Amino acid sequence: MTSLPRNAGPVKLGLVIDLDICVGCHACAVNCKEWNTSGHSAPLTDSDPYGADPSGVWFNRIHTFEVVNEAGDSRTVHFPKSCLHCEEAPCVTVCPTGASYKRQEDGIVLVNAEACIGCKLCSWACPYGAREYDEDVGVMKKCTLCVDKIYNENLDPRSRAPACVSTCPAGARHFGDLGDPQSEVSLLVAARGGYELMPEQECKPVNRYLPPRPKRQTPAVDSGAALQPATPEGEAAGLLARWVDRVLSR
């Protein structure tokens, strides 16, 4: 059923991404591809991977933006983006077959590959570009929030987090229940002013982004006399230097 769950449970699993910390290394995207190509929506097909025009299915993409403030100071912001597991997921309601669905128990949005007809309408309905079509298999694929990892009892409890979160070397990604206001991720969002992307699209995404912290205001450095060019007349140059200068200038 592609209608959204009528009695959505209190649990809203999602990601919190810290734009202040992300260094843009793409490790999350690579580990996502590695885990998921043999996971719930496997395979994440590549076409022409070693040729001139490679393309393929990825659930996670890292964009890099430049933000220029009014003073003209710019900063670079690395911006990872994957499915935001929206509460009002338009990709779910537009699906004509019921292949696209949102789980009642934890809010994860998934695709049933057995029922997908590959009409691509869900990818048109998603404002975030979270869905990617697998040309080879003929069905739509998307981030599963590593549903096959986060509940996997064969794994060490510390590893039961999405691949992108487990692998982030900078600690820029957090995973948890955003439906619980006392969860670690919710407290983090509250403390840092975490926000949702494109609220005007009214999809109510679950994932939150933590804004880059304001830049530290470092005082302008006076480069001092040491860095000024030595001039024979200037007081900076000593007696010996002035003599050498005069001798060599002849």
Partner 1 sequence: MHPAKSVILFTTASGAGYGLLAWLGLLAAFGVLPSERWFGLAAFALGLGLVVTGLLSSTLHLGHPERAWRALTQWRSSWLSREGVAAVVTFLPVGLFAFYWIVDGTNSDTLAVVGLLASLCCLVTVICTAMIYASLRTIRAWASPWTLPSYLVLSALSGAVLLNLLLQLWGLPHNGAFAWMAAALFILAGLVKVLYWRNVMYGEPAGTAESATGLGPQGRVRLLEAPHSESSYLMQEMGFRIARKHAEKLRRLTLLGGFLAPFVLIVVGQAAPGLGSLLAALASLPLLAAGLAVERWLFFAEAKHVVTLYYGESRA
Contacts with partner 1 by CB under 8 A lie at: 1-4, 19, 24, 29, 53-55, 57-58, 61-70, 74-77, 79, 81, 90, 92-99, 115-121, 123-129, 132-135, 137-140, 195-198, 200-202, 209, 211-212
For the CB of residue 95, give the shortest distance to partner 1 in the complex, in Å.
Answer: 6
Query: 179 or 205, CB closer to partner 1?
Result: 205
- In the numeric block, the tokens 């309601």 are attached to 93
Helices (H), the chain: 27-36, 90-93, 121-125, 147-150, 163-167, 184-192, 239-248
Task: Tell which residue, 91, 209, 201, 87, has the closest CA to residue 141.
Answer: 91
Query: 109 or 150, CB closer to partner 1?
Result: 109
Count of positions (residues) in the chain: 250
- In the numeric block, the tokens 């040309």 are attached to 135
- In the numeric block, the tokens 């597991």 are attached to 85
- In the chain, the amino acid numbered 69 is N
For the CB of residue 182, give the shortest distance to partner 1 in the complex, in Å.
Answer: 24
Query: 36 or 150, CB closer to partner 1?
Result: 36
Query: 72 or 229, CB closer to partner 1?
Result: 72
SS3 state of residue 173: strand
For the CB of residue 75, give the shortest distance to partner 1 in the complex, in Å.
Answer: 8
For the CB of residue 147, give the shortest distance to partner 1 in the complex, in Å.
Answer: 22
